[in-house]
Chains A and B, each alone.
Chain A
Amino acid sequence: MTQPVTTLVRKKKNQPRLALAVAVLSACAAVLVRACNANAALPYLFGLAFGYIMQRSAFCFAAGFRDIFMIRNTALTRAVLLAIALTTMGFGILQLLGAVDLPTMGKVYPVGLHTLVGGILFGFGMVIAGSCVSGCLVRMGEGYIMQWVTFLGILTGSAAGAWNLGFWYRFTIAGSPTVFLPGSLGWTGAYLLQYLALAALYLLALRFGGGAFSLKPDLKSMSGGRKWTYPAGAAALAAANTALFWSWGRPWSITSGLTSFSGWLSSMAGLSPFSWEFFQRANLLEGFGQQVFLRHPLIYLSFAMITGSLYASLSRSEFRLRRPRNYKYVLSALAGGLLMGYSSRIAMGCNIGALLSGTASLSLHGWLFGLAILPGAYLGGKYLLRFIVE
């Protein structure tokens, strides 16, 4: 998969020097973040790492779902399954060591109709936007103007979702059970079921969209080649997520931070987001207490992902301000962002918080969210082929 790249034009490259400047500035910013909001320092540093890893490995959660239907290729689907399996293992080891308590500190949330609807909308949104929320942050750092539009959509959509959450709360969330797998199956049963399900999906994916795909991380590609392999990216993301959970006490997630940021923007614009259901209720549920608006630590993680990706792309001379092909791409990016922002509120997370960290916390809502994304991504693919491809 890793491809040697030949350079056509040998021109003076000054991007690596800019990368150095970005590194120095983000180190200064880290000190500043630590001084202003001590609880945000670790998420900030890990955000840099997540952005760097995702850019270097071209790891893409959206492609893991979309490519199944659009090009019948499951290389990234299998990489996502691998990332879930390794993160599950990492969180499991932390639980075993007593470093964390999964049911209270992990991502264990109610599972119900809201998860299903949220997943479908999210799947559709991420395909028409060209990336999910994590991918959007990474592409923003690489200079994709289209993803900056998606980001605006995500912020607006999250505000709408945060405001409208009361409806979903009364309609389904309040009456939905919170299913922590070991609670009903025991620890051994839960891990057995989790790994059997992951293995079954892996084999299914291999059968459906085969093609040689070595599970063994190609170590050579990590230093000399152009990109890391997908499995290497999966392993690095799992390791970083586990390290964040261990050191900070909460696993990797993004969208509740972006919602808080969006709430802060709304308050600046004269709205009163404190009366919105999300800030009344769900933020407490997510364990961040009164750390709303700019105090929310995940805001720093999200913005650090952009910087980490910017550093990675500059260091490899890949940065470029990329214009979308035409207005259809811009509209699609905006619509996809709005859908993702709204749906990540009602489903309580995105591909990171709900799918990756949720399933790895052995919560059923992560699994249902992941399965619900499939029909959404299928429909999104149909939409792309019908309206966007020339």
Chain B
Amino acid sequence: MIRYCNGVWPVADHFIDALGEMCPIPIVRAEKKLKQLKPRDRVVLLTDHSCSIASVSCHFKDKYGYLCTVLEEDEGIWRIIIEKTV
């Protein structure tokens, strides 16, 4: 999905379905994807791994300084949006 942010920069969302995958595979997959992306692109990670709420945002926020938002999709399923800010 390509969308425009403030009408200037094309922002692409990349979806990763990580349901049923254990740590740290969701992080490895998201990291691999984010390396290929442009600044302000986002990876949307769907996970049912409860540790991911802490570990994914800890990894991308504290180590890379990316923006992370955790949305609760359903009981025990989260959608984590990681935006490549730099």
Residues of A that sit less than 8 Å from B by CB: 1-9, 11, 13, 15, 55, 57-58, 60, 63, 66-67, 70-71, 73, 75-76, 130-131, 142-144, 146, 209-213, 226-227, 230, 313, 317-320, 322-326, 329, 384-385, 388-390
| CB neighbours of B53 from chain A (8 A) | 3, 5, 58, 226-227
Please name the residue on chain A nearest to B20 by beta carbon: A325
Contact A75–B51 (Cβ < 8 Å): no
Q: Contacts A9-B74, A71-B31 given; indicate if A212 touches B62 (C-beta within 8 A).
A: yes
Contact A71 B27 (CB under 8 A): yes
Residues of chain A within 8 A of B68, CB atoms compared: 3
6 A-B pairs with C-beta separation under 8 A: A8-B73, A63-B23, A67-B55, A226-B53, A323-B20, A389-B28
The residue that A6 contacts in the complex, of B54, B71, B76, with Cβ under 8 A, is B71
Docked Cα-Cα span, A7 to B53, in Å, equals 13
B63 CB contacts on chain A under 8 angstroms:
73, 209-211
Task: Chain A residues near B70: list those with CB within 8 A.
Answer: 3-6, 226
Given A73-B63, A313-B50, A1-B58 contact (CB < 8 Å): yes
Q: How far is A11 from B72 in the complex, measured between Cα atoms in Å?
A: 11
Interface flag for B29 (CB, 8 Å): yes
B48 to chain A: which residues have CB within 8 Å?
320, 322
- The reply to whether A320 and B77 form a contact with Cβ atoms under 8 Å apart is yes
**Restricting to B7-34, which residues have a CB under 8 Å from any CB of A?**
19-25, 27-29, 31
User: What residues of B have a CB within 8 angstroms of the CB of A55 in the complex?
Assistant: 50
Nearest residue (CB) in B for A214 is: B62
Q: Compute how far the CA of A63 lies from the CA of B79 in the bound complex, rounded to whole angstroms.
A: 21
Instruction: Kindly state the separation between the CA atoms of A5 and B73 in the bound complex, as whole angstroms.
Output: 10
**Are A75 and B58 CB-contacts (below 8 A) given A5-B78, A6-B71, A210-B63?**
yes
A71-B76 contact given A1-B62, A58-B55, A63-B55, CB 8 Å threshold? no
Contact between B71 and A60 (Cβ–Cβ < 8 Å)? no
Judging by beta carbons under 8 Å apart, are B50 and A6 in contact? no
B31 to chain A: which residues have CB within 8 Å? 71
